[in-house]
Amino acid sequence: MKLILNIKENLEKLLKQEDTDHDKKITIEDKGPKLFIATAVDGTTVEIKGTYFLSNFLQELVLTQEIGNVTAEINFDYIFEKPVDRLNRMIKDYYWDGLTRRIDASGIIKTLTDTKTEADKYYLYIPNGDKTAFEFYQKIAEDINENEISVIELPLEITPEYVYSLNNKSGVVSLALEKNKNNKLEGVPFVVPGGRFNEMYGWDSYFESLGLIIDGRIDLAKAMADNFVYEIEHYGQILNANRTYYLTRSQPPFLTSLTLAIYNNLSSNKESKDWLTKLLNSSIKEYNSVWLNRNRLTHTKLSRYYGSGIGLPPETELTHFDSLLKPFSEKAGMSVREYYRKYLNREIIEPEIEEYIKHDRSIRESGHDTSYRLDKISAHLNTVDLNSLLYKYEVDIAEIIKNEFDNHFTSYEDKIEFSETWLRKAEERKSLVNKLMWNEEKGFYFDYNFCKNQQTNFESATTFYPLWAKIASQAQADLLIKNALPVLEYAGGIAGSSKESVGIINDERPQKQWDYPNGWAPHQIIIWEGLKKYGYNNIAKRLAYKWLYTIVRNAVDYNGTIPEKYDVVTRTHKVFAEYGNVGTEFDYITREGFGWMNASFKVGLTILNKELKEKLNNLIPPEDIF
């Protein structure tokens, strides 16, 4: 049913009646009657009842208002749409586009904006020697008069000292350019996570791409892979994200998985094969130059995360390091704020804090920022997650060379790569992971402290990565399911860690966002896929349903909210830890959701059968099903 409505009239009346807490949303916390009579221009009325349908009406009014008309045709099928169907449609039709950025004239200001740091002007940094990009962006900067943009060429060697010197003039580092159908240069697009994360992130992009591919947006997934190739070529690694303060830090490696996910959905032709050649070459280069370099390859022959840099990371919230700095500031007789400012500017240097920073930057490279699993020891760990990912690289590279390049491939520097060589690398890593990280007695994979030559015994969701990578034997998988699920599975899905491993939380030992009771989209996806590889399809369905129920329940109750993370114990998006919860602050309607959360919804739906999808649409809680 479609009706012509006066937008302003209905919108003002709706908000006045139903948005009782004046947050420009309609949620279960509003105290209105939860019953509204929408009136069309011709006098036709429609009764809308309940928080969910009222919030849908609010969203549709705002979407039509933005077209600029006084009246608009409202599709009431969208108002009364079932929640799973609505979320599925909104992600596909609106959220991906809302998260898409380009670094060119059409979107440069939106991309340069960074709420994580304070700046009174914009800086765009270009790789050394990329003359085309430098001239392209200089022209754009000259043409944009209302904003001051400085285009700066990076030095040939990017050192921690240089990156530190940019703390007060941080900015975006450029990504790939391409020619459009009119033979004009434009920025290769990318998808950002959302909210305060307004740049292209490393592992986020892999998970986002899984959702994009499901929604038929192979173009965007392929574009992000192309941007990664540019980063490896010009910055030496896939960056944590494309801003200056990330130039000495990578992210969890997923490039071969991203490559295969895309290539398997491309047409079988020369263009696709050429693209695969480029991506395979970049993957091999990244593997060797980043994950086997002297900072990351340890004496165990396994790798570690290691984000080099000087001083406190400038992109963190102002109060993030308060619990660390407080004892030192009190000893120095100054406020925490003053101590933080002086430390950030290197007016104070404390050996104990410097040691903490070394591990903190390593944690940030791991993507798990932050967790007591890694706190104060990250740089001393061969982690389960990283070495599972690198094993997957080795197997993927071997299989691509075998299946697509007749068992041999000429990589960068004209080196001949053989499938068998990469399989041997994989077998060696698999053997070491199982030797050093597998605990038969506890039925867990644990990170390995190579300085102490012992396992950490911290129970984390990353214990399931060897299933996703297919490192574990069937017997190990069986034992892992038996022992890990009972301490990590909760009402809303898998928590980042067990409650016991986290320990006591108080003012001196604050909550870390990647720990219990919080759950994260990448963990859920990796675990679902890992379980399926070992025949645990029913458990994968149960976990996927729990996670999707949490997403849908919160969206229904809170005006379509799709946040960065959830408390999976209480199934709420109201997470109060470290940086808050990105994706919860918006007016009227979320424009983006959150990147990998959108993707987890899409991937999760592919795991549920028709019956479970219908139950989810009817908001039947998992405890009434499983």
As a whole number of angstroms, the distance between CA 412 and CA 190 comes to 26
CA distances from 91 to 212, 358, 593 (A): 10, 38, 7
Q: Which residue has the tokens 């995360």?
A: 305
H/E run at residue 45: strand 45-49
Q: For CA atoms 459, 464, 466, 467, give the dihedral sign.
A: positive
Three-state SS sequence of 314-368 = CCCCCCCCHHHHHHHHHHHCCCHHHHHHHHHCCCCCCHHHHHHHHHHHHHHHHCC
In total, the chain counts a number of residues equal to 626
Which alpha helices (DSSP H) does 238-299 contain, by range? 255-263, 270-286
416-418 vs 408-410, strand pairing mode: antiparallel
As a whole number of angstroms, the distance between CA 556 and CA 541 comes to 22
Nearest CA to 554 out of 576, 570, 542, 539 is that of: 570
| Tokens linked to 310 | 């000087």
Which of these is catalytic: 231, 564, 578, 592?
564
Nearest CA to 588 out of 41, 7, 112, 101 is that of: 7
Q: Are 12 and 49 in contact (CB under 8 A)?
A: no
Burial class (CB in 10 A: 0-12, 13-18, 19+), 403: exposed
Q: Is 369 a catalytic residue?
A: yes
Beta bridge partners of 573: none
As a whole number of angstroms, the distance between CA 397 and CA 415 comes to 14
Helix and strand element counts for the chain (H, E): 24, 22
| Tokens linked to 385 | 């997650």
Nearest CA to 210 out of 261, 267, 273 is that of: 261
Burial class (CB in 10 A: 0-12, 13-18, 19+), 74: buried
Q: What burial letters (b/e) apply to 272-283, b meaning 16+ CB within 10 Å?
A: beebbbebbbbb
CA distances from 144 to 105, 133, 141, 148, 267 (A): 8, 17, 5, 8, 40
Nearest CA to 463 out of 482, 618, 163 is that of: 482
Q: Per-residue DSSP letters for 468-489?
A: HHT-S-HHHHHHHHHHHHHHHE
Beta bridge partners of 159: none
Which of these is catalytic: 18, 199, 369, 557?
369
Q: What are the strands, taking DSSP E only, across 127-222?
A: 149-153, 172-173, 177-179, 185-187, 190-191
As a whole number of angstroms, the distance between CA 340 and CA 323 comes to 11
User: Which active-site residues does the annotation give?
Assistant: 369, 564
